[in-house]
Amino acid sequence: MAEHLEDGRKLTTGPTLSDQAYRALREEITTGGLKPGQRLTERALADHLGVSPTPVREALQRLEHERLIERDAVRSIRVAEPSVARLYELALIEVALRGAAARLAAERATEAEVKAIMEACDRAEVLASSAGWSQAQVREILTVTRGFHQLVNEAAHTQTLIDMISTATAFDWAFRLKWAVDSHPGPASLQHSMKEHRDVAAAIEARDPETAEKVMRQHSGARAEALLAIASRNAQPSAGRS
């Protein structure tokens, strides 16, 4: 699609190859496809995406600005491996953003979106009630609850907010998968987390933005605190990168 300006210049809208490369690489980082600390090269990424190195180079510049990748003294590229201090900062940001998403979802969610959010709670609760305490079962629940949060984010109808949450939680998924069982000291902790999800969903359904935001912030804060404790216990003594 093209638009003409008054002075005759023509701008072409739509995603460029650079935009597409940025989105693809960003998704691979935020979903754990590219691991924290993993070394990257422009040529290998270009081959992986089927494009020339130029759009990949431009995408990497944007990802570096977001601190999702980093370069060392010899300009070698790797996926960022944040310190505990950096994870703490990201956790604070995540709590605020998820609270805002829940508030907006209570104001803007369609009936179909509310139904999907409630159904996600149903699925998670069924899994939690029947699950043992194995890594695989807890991870299955984690996958469903991740979907719940994504549904809430999408119901806020604010792409900027969705992108900001994705950046704040860029290293969250791989970490949660690794420490899923450890982040809950027992079944009671998991059940409490399920109840908080249900309370958020109920507030969204009731169109109660204040309660939705409050409960989501409490829930996200508690989960972030548990995961930060694990990160602190497992931090490498020499880890000082941000």
Fold of 13-79: Arc Repressor Mutant, subunit A (1.10.10)
Which comes out higher in pLDDT, residue 99 or 188? 99
Is residue 99 helix, strand or coil?
A: helix
Q: What is the mean pLDDT of residues 1-30?
A: 72
Do 39 and 80 touch, CB atoms closer than 8 A? no
Give the per-residue pLDDT at 85. Answer: 83
Using alpha carbons, list the distances in angstroms from residue 203 to 3, 104, 118, 156, 165: 43, 11, 11, 14, 21
Q: What is the rounded average pLDDT of the residues 218-239?
A: 78
> What distance, in Å, lies between the first and last C-alpha atoms of the chain?
41
Q: Does domain 84-233 have CATH number 1.20.120.530?
A: yes
| CA 200 to each of CA 78, 93, 98, 169, 180: distance values in angstroms, whole numbers, following the listed order | 37, 19, 11, 20, 22
Above 80 in pLDDT, residue 9?
no
The answer, yes or no, to whether residue 4 has pLDDT greater than 50, is no
Give the model's pLDDT for residue 7: 52
Q: Answer whether residue 139 shows pLDDT above 50.
A: yes
For 138-194, what is the HEC assignment?
HHHHHHHHHHHHHHHHHHCCCHHHHHHHHHHCCCHHHHHHHCCCCCCCCHHHHHHHH
pLDDT digits (tens, 9 = 90+) for 175-190: 777 776 677 767 778 8
Q: CB–CB of 180/139 below 8 Å?
A: yes
pLDDT of 38 reads 92
User: Above pLDDT 70, what percent of the chain?
Assistant: 86
| Rounded Cα distance, 39 and 221, in Å | 32
Q: Could you state, in order of their start, the residue ranges of all structural domains in the chain?
A: 13-79, 84-233
- Place 86 in a pLDDT band, splitting at 50, 70 and 90: confident
Structure confidence at residue 96 (pLDDT): 97
Confidence bin at 241 (pLDDT 50/70/90) = very low
